[in-house]
Structure 1
Amino acid sequence: MTVTAAMVKELRETTGAGMMDAKKALTETSGDMEAAVDWLRSKGLAKAAKKSGRVAAEGLIGVAVRDGRGVAVEINSETDFVAKNADFQTLVREITELALETGESVEVLRATHLNGTPVEEVVQNAIARIGENMTLRRMHLLEGETVVHYVHNAAAPGMGKIGVLVALNGPKDKAAEIGRQIAMHIAATSPASLSEADLDPALIEREKSVLTEQARESGKPEAVIEKMIQGRMSKFFEEVTLLGQKFVINPDVTVGQAAKDAGAEVTGFARVAVGEGIEKKEEDFAAEVAKTLKGD
């Protein structure tokens, strides 16, 4: 596969690596961007192996909670201007409330009737009315003894750029109080899973492979390398699992310990951010405005 200048630029922006190092990584991995990031990390050349997740879509996350049941719904729009539109916000609110009542999956939600019309058709009508493409992309349902929510960068009550749900066991008042703090923590840290047991095995293997390669670069004996890997994997689990992370409100304890100290237990969570995982087309805003003024 031909390694292009654009690919090198993207890898450099993602990892902070030098141009020649980025080019070599892409050559060594046949242009596989994710593998190239891992290659750079294994060589100690990636200054910041940031996850590639540039927001490609605008819109809002609607969040609603009632009686131990919570839902987060993502509805996308083409621009942030529409996300601030009162009509669009009403659409998000109504669909989110419907999801809380009847939603099992986004497919079921699309077919469910809202005021006598299937949600999918309601969205299509809004597209025609507002004049911009929209998508009901996904929803996440969470249930528990107590479910609390938090919205980051709120555009209106119950909707914003990031929606978080947290399910807890324990006395409701205590669970609700610590739950909201943990929800804010989740919005800030974006943990990969609740605990090590819930972590994607593929993610674990990928990290272990990178850390093994790093350790072997040290030239130390195999027995020492094995201990290095174990220690680094333990640190990795602490960093990416919610219960193992240092609590942002009190870094002296983990999130799991903070919940326990408050008389509660975290049983699940969801963090949904607008547009995550969608590739965004970069546009020249000035050129776009000029094009519009010309009537093209």
Structure 2
Amino acid sequence: MQRAALSGVCGPLRGGARSRPQVVSQQLLFHAGLPTFAGDKELLVKLRKKTGYSFVNCKKALEKFCGDSKQAEAWLHEQAQKEGWSKASKLQGRKTKEGLIGLLQEGNAAVMVEVNCETDFVARNVKFQQLVQQAATGTMFHYQDTKNQLTTYSKRFMKAAELSQLRTGPTGSLLSDQLALAIGKLGENMALKRAACVAVPANHFIGSYIHGVLPADNLSPANVALGKYGALVICQALEQSQKSSLADLGRRLGQHVVGMAPLSVGSLEDEPGGEAETKMLAQPFLLDPSITLGQYVQPQGVSVLDFVRFECGEDTELPETE
């Protein structure tokens, strides 16, 4: 029973309980300072809900630390991380073509990250989604100084090795450690694949769009959008416009980039192309194929400068940082 296990770890029972053959009251079955049976059960439920680990492991942790939930939680994370690294080495080489794109936008900066796993089932698990969120917030934190005093836009990329060494915040843990924890909990190979960070000066804005959006109800309020495709479009507002109208315009441009997968921006002087056209401004506008994207954008008083497009699981080399 749980009480017997707890008493065995925490020391001999009071009142000579070990030498007494007769039945004693519940109060005497516990070492001083330990909660009652109902309290033990409540601690177990809370620890299970908070950490996501199995009841067996949570019970073992509470027994090990005499009901101290903080020590128990720390020990569980430590054990999961060790197990995660072990699983990571065993699972290394298994393909990770599924996963999610995470997009986070704050003011004049935005980041996109890609985190991969083996199956779509795991991609829909809240713990995997939290890992994607941590990767996005960690990338934003790393590039926070880029957001200030810009004279032109900034676009940077990170590969897996650099991304894994980022921290989730000022006093947060490494993303590589969070990756190990997730592998330990979910039992699939995973990878922090890449990240992009964009920042713009005044009179510029960033259009953003995520396709195949998954609900983020179970995540902390960091406003990270999750999906299978993502786009950031860097624009310059040539005329004064309301932020709401620019946000709508930016979303449409992002939709176009996701749907039409251009390879370059091109120019307004480019001849209109067909479905196979790779220059963004010469492509048929996704939402109105009777005109080109350039013909749609020009009357809006906006100039498209650059873009970033991520597709989950695609084979691609990251471009050089600009």
TM-score if structure 1 supplies the norm length? 0.58
Q: Does 1:150 align with 2:209?
A: yes
| Aligned match of 2:232 | 165
Secondary structure of the residue aligned to 2:206 is strand
| Aligned match of 1:262 | 300
How many Å separate the matches in 2 of 1:75 and 1:169? 30
Secondary structure of the residue aligned to 2:313 is coil
Question: Of Structure 1 and Structure 2, which has the larger fraction of its residues in helix?
Answer: 1
How many Å separate the matches in 2 of 1:238 and 1:162? 20
Q: Unaligned regions of 5+ residues in structure 2, if any?
A: 1-94, 144-155, 217-224, 317-322
Indicate the structure whose relative CO is greater, using CA pairs within 8 Å and at least 6 residues apart: 1
How many Å separate the matches in 1 of 2:291 and 2:315? 31
| Aligned match of 1:191 | 262
| Aligned match of 1:60 | 100
Identity %: 31
Conserved in 1, the CA contact under 8 Å of 2:134 and 2:175?
no
Secondary structure of the residue aligned to 1:194 is coil
How many Å separate the matches in 2 of 1:56 and 1:109? 17
Query: Which of 213, 225, 249 is 2:287 aligned to?
Result: 249
More moved, 138-147 vs 75-84: 138-147
Alignment of 1:1-296 (within 5 A): 57-103=97-143, 105-106=158-159, 107-114=161-168, 116-144=172-200, 145-157=204-216, 158-170=225-237, 171=241, 172-195=243-266, 235=273, 239-277=277-315
Deviation, 1:56, is 6.2
Deviation, 1:147, is 1.0
How many Å separate the matches in 2 of 1:56 and 1:134? 6
Q: Unaligned regions of 5+ residues in structure 1, if any?
A: 1-54, 198-230, 279-296
Task: Report the CA distance shift for 1:116/1:65 in structure 2 as closer, same or farther (over 3 A).
Answer: closer
How many Å separate the matches in 2 of 1:187 and 1:110? 26
Secondary structure of the residue aligned to 1:155 is coil
TM-score if structure 2 supplies the norm length? 0.54
How many Å separate the matches in 2 of 1:235 and 1:148? 23
Secondary structure of the residue aligned to 1:112 is coil
How many Å separate the matches in 2 of 1:56 and 1:127? 12
CA deviations over 1:190-247 (Å, ceiling 9, x no partner): 11111279xxxxxxxxxxxxxxxxxxxxxxxxxxxxxxxxx9x984798111111111
Task: Report the CA distance shift for 1:112/1:132 in structure 2 as closer, same or farther (over 3 A).
Answer: same
Larger radius of gyration: 2
Task: Report the CA distance shift for 1:163/1:235 in structure 2 as closer, same or farther (over 3 A).
Answer: closer
| Aligned match of 2:10 | none
Secondary structure of the residue aligned to 1:71 is strand
Conserved in 1, the CA contact under 8 Å of 2:98 and 2:117?
yes
Secondary structure of the residue aligned to 2:111 is strand
Deviation, 1:251, is 2.3
Task: Report the CA distance shift for 1:237/1:185 in structure 2 as closer, same or farther (over 3 A).
Answer: closer
How many Å separate the matches in 1 of 2:107 and 2:164? 23
More moved, 269-278 vs 85-94: 269-278
Conserved in 2, the CA contact under 8 Å of 1:70 and 1:148?
no
Conserved in 2, the CA contact under 8 Å of 1:191 and 1:242?
yes
How many Å separate the matches in 2 of 1:173 and 1:152? 20
More moved, 83-92 vs 97-106: 97-106
Aligned partner letter, 1:109: L
